[in-house]
Amino acid sequence: MNLENLIKENVVKAISELYEGTVAESAVQVQKTRKEFEGDVTVVVFPFLRTSRKSPEMTGEDLGKYLVERVDVVSDFNVVKGFLNLVINEAHWIGVLNDANANPEYGYTKVTEESPLAMIEYSSPNTNKPLHLGHIRNNLLGFSISEILKANGYKVVKTNIVNDRGIHICKSMVAWQKWGEGATPESTGKKGDHLVGDFYVKFDKEYKKEIAELMEQGMSKEEAEAEAPSIKDAREMLRKWEAKDPEVYELWRNMNQWVYDGFDVTYKKMGVDFDKIYYESDTYLVGKDEVMKGLDQGLFVKHEDGSVWADLESEGLDQKILLRSDGTSVYMTQDIGTAKLRFNDYSIDKMVYVVGNEQNYHFQVLSILLDKLGFKWGKDLYHFSYGMVELPQGKMKSREGTVVDADDLMQEMIDVARTTSQELGKLEGYTEEQAEATFEKIALGALKYFILKVDPRKNMLFNPEESIDFNGNTGPFIQYTYARIQSVLRKAKDAGIEVPEAAPVVTPSAKEIELLKNISRFPVAIADAGKDYSPAIIANYCYELVKEFNQFYHGHAMLKEENEEVRAFRLVLANCVGKVVENGMKLLGILVPERM
């Protein structure tokens, strides 16, 4: 049992025995003691005053005496107004160190056959363009949330729904037919997703020209947008695709495969993966069937033009289209079908959609529609709504070709990491292959950490230069601290100094106690990150831990310490910090290099 839970459990007992009252363990607030006060953990007394019928100070005195007498780890206490500050004995902190050092998965909850199953959907790309900076945040959040839920004892299925059909896909196909001249990834030397994305941008440019020409001929903007030849061609292509026209279908298969091959390269570089991939081309028909069943049951209405709608005005919303007048489906139709297939495929206890906050309304509606259609899990779907990523120059637009391409960004980060590392001269003796692998770890660590350290629900500004700084709250700073620890351990080994498996009992300094407190908080950080779906909690925990370690490192001798027991204690402490940092960064999908 961790310290926080131990304190909570005994406060509940104290309230019962001292005041013959009851309090829920969840109502017991345990915090870090503020630095200006003596103590290690603080219990907030105010919630118990109605039961104790005493002042905050007297209630705190009662609880403090009880805990010192009954709980071995509590050695002393003091009360400041309504706050009970508890002093934890040194033996407890050394026990924390040895437990953490001996457990390769310290802080993790073991996954068993009985563990609940969480499915996490992330990425959800369209096959008409390459992945960009916005996709990077989505993928990194989805992957990290998956790892955090695993660490909280969930079985996890990481899933992706590929939006491989629809009018936007047809736009790239029409552009290739009109202006492609038979181009392929092989003939152009381009990644397939980039090539198809170029045709999507080309379509938009030509479409805008056609609109301008029609407006010059006297059409309104709305009329021109509807009557432009290119958009008519795209709509006709979508109709033919849904009718399984052989020529259109073959082109669709070929161009999508180009994109899939390109995506695979990007995902591998990014370090994310999936256990199951669904395709909209497979799921939309299931969704259409469900919509038609709902229409037969009177849940939905058909308009005069043949389109099918859900009237959600009684739920305080508006009307939502489910099938267009030409019978083609929309995203909502696909998501209904995908949800049904997923729950048929897996015994899902928790379904989490990692999708940007511009889709809040969509998932509110999806949950209602699934419930109306009789799926008991409809109301329990969770939309993890995150903020957008912007750049110093503003928002990105795919159709205008102003996005920051994921491949280009990752390569740029690797180039910067290479230059910075070479200037520091830390990789002397590495082969070229080893050095390049380290540059990649630093670069992607910088990118991932910069994005994941921000509260995911907030919009964020991405600054590549800031992210790769080797100082401050950055990925490279944390990686560098890990590498520093490994360097100390290597030097100890070279000097014939053994690092024991368990730390000897010594009297830790105040700074060492602070470091041990930080180690003890790792399980709490994992639990909090799981409850809040927030990789930022893990990221900032890692930063606080390494910041504390660096202060310790600069103020305490390690290999030069003459007292053998103190030296052994500090080496175990350093080794343990390294393990916790490695495990914490692993939850963010970040690798830590042995040398930097």
* Residue 97 resides in a domain: no
Of 356, 390, 424, which closes a domain?
A: 390
Looking at every residue in the chain, the average pLDDT score rounds to 93
Tell me how far apart the alpha carbons of residues 561 and 233 are, in angstroms, rounded to a whole number.
78
State the CATH number of the domain containing residue 316.
3.40.50.620
Co-location of 370 and 413 in the same domain: no
DSSP code per residue over 148-197: HHHHBT-EEEEEEEEB--SHHHHHHHHHHHHH-TT--HHHHT--HHHHHH
Count the alpha carbons within 13 Å of 482 in the hemisphere toward its beta carbon. Answer: 26
Asked if residue 102 is part of any domain, the answer here is no
pTM recorded for the entire structure: 0.91
Over residues 469-482, mean pLDDT = 92
Domain ranges, residue 372: 122-390
400 within a domain of the structure (yes/no): no
- CATH number for the domain spanning 581: value is 1.10.730.10
Tell whether 7 and 137 lie within a shared domain.
Answer: no
Task: Convert the pLDDT of each residue in 274-318 to its tens digit.
Answer: 999 999 999 999 999 999 999 999 999 999 999 999 999 999 999
Q: How far is CA 327 from the centre of its chain?
A: 37
Residue 145, in any domain of the structure = yes
Q: Please give the DSSP secondary-structure letter assigned to residue 132.
A: B
Co-location of 285 and 429 in the same domain: no
* Residues 417 and 373 occupy one common structural domain: no
Q: Are residues 268 and 166 in the same domain?
A: yes
Domain co-membership, 433 together with 570: yes
Residue 109 placed within a domain: no
Q: H-helix or E-strand containing 32?
A: strand 30-32
Looking at the 3D structure of the chain, how many domains does it have? Answer: 3
Averaged pLDDT for residues 244-266: 97
Q: Which of 67, 88, 109 finishes a domain? A: 88
Q: 397 lies in a domain?
A: no
The torsion defined by the Cα of 52, 55, 60 and 61, in degrees rounded to 10, comes to -100
Kindly indicate the confidence band of residue 400, based on its pLDDT and cuts at 50, 70 and 90.
very low
Q: Are residues 197 and 271 in the same domain?
A: yes
Segment 42-49 shows an average pLDDT of: 96
Residue 101 domain-assigned?
Answer: no
The alpha carbons of the chain give a radius of gyration, in whole angstroms, of 29
Token output for 82: 């309504």
Structural domain includes residue 106: no
pLDDT at 394 over 60: no
Q: Are residues 334 and 465 in the same domain?
A: no
Query: How far apart, in whole angstroms, are the C-alpha atoms of residue 217 and residue 213?
Result: 7
379 in the same domain as 300? yes
Q: What is the CATH number of the domain that holds 47?
A: 3.30.1360.70
Task: Please indicate, yes or no, whether residues 305 and 416 belong to a single structural domain of this protein.
Answer: no
In whole angstroms, give the CA distance from residue 568 to residue 507.
Answer: 13
Same domain, 189 and 251: yes
One domain for residues 159 and 229? yes
